Chains A and B, each alone.
Chain A
Amino acid sequence: QVQLVQSGAEVKKPGASVKVSCKASGYTFTSYYMHWVRQAPGQGLEWMGIINPSGGGTTYAQKFQGRVTMTRDTSTRTVYMELSSLRSEDTAVYYCARGRGDGYKYVFDIWGLGTMVTVSS
């Protein structure tokens, strides 16, 4: 079945970087865009950006420009999200979410279980 398996929880110090992975299975990896969405504890959902697994093209939310990098490895069907210069406000669950096909690339139809990233000194 279609699923997205994310890497495990991370604890980082302020100023460090974190790289979260999301491995896709059950569908043609290069045919669907992938998004990253985060959720701080007790808060709402925040979109970070999108990557096209086919060509690697990306669009980032302006808030994260310069700090976030999304990449993909087609040989392992994995997308990555790296966030640098971490601060306490980056403590959140980070989700990868597939963009629905059929022209609805900005609709999130399949979600990973999430990766908790804690930033603490």
Chain B
Amino acid sequence: DIQMTQSPSSLSASVGDRVTITCRASQSISNYLNWFQQKPGKAPKLLIYAASSLQSGVPSRFSGSGSGTDLTLTISSLQPEDFATYYCQQSYSPPLTFGGGTKVEIK
């Protein structure tokens, strides 16, 4: 199974900050990496797929980059509605696996 490791596991940031979350795969997954946002009590929401493609309706302040084993999610200017937990997920091969999550909190 492909292990996905996210870092950091949590971070504190202010509105307007630039935030970067990293996902490391235990083997190369090319660009088969997706990012989700989850708020408490809600289902996850797809933000980015195929490492850098923005899902329809997602604000352009979200972007993804990278390939191989190290991929990143960047929020260019953090907004109040962005405080949530973020997960990466590899879609390279089953079993599909997720990172452990990064909780973004208000500083």
Residue from B34, B43, B49 whose CB has the most chain A CB atoms within 10 Å: B43
Tell me how many residues of B have a C-beta within 8 Å of chain A: 21
Docked-complex contact B89 and A45, CB < 8 angstroms: yes
Docked-complex contact B43 and A113, CB < 8 angstroms: yes
Contact pick for A44, options B43, B45, B49, B98, CB 8 Å: B98
The residue on A at minimum CB distance from B100 is A44
The verdict on A46 contacting chain B, using a C-beta distance below 8 Å, is yes
Docked-complex contact A106 and B91, CB < 8 angstroms: yes
CB distance from A38 to the nearest CB of B (A): 11
Docked-complex contact A59 and B94, CB < 8 angstroms: yes
Docked-complex contact B46 and A108, CB < 8 angstroms: yes
Complex Cα distance, B36 from A109, in Å, reads 10
The residue on A at minimum CB distance from B90 is A106
Complex Cα distance, B55 from A21, in Å, reads 26
The verdict on B21 contacting chain A, using a C-beta distance below 8 Å, is no
B interface residue numbers (CB < 8 A to A): 32, 34, 36, 43-46, 49-50, 55, 87, 89, 91, 94-101
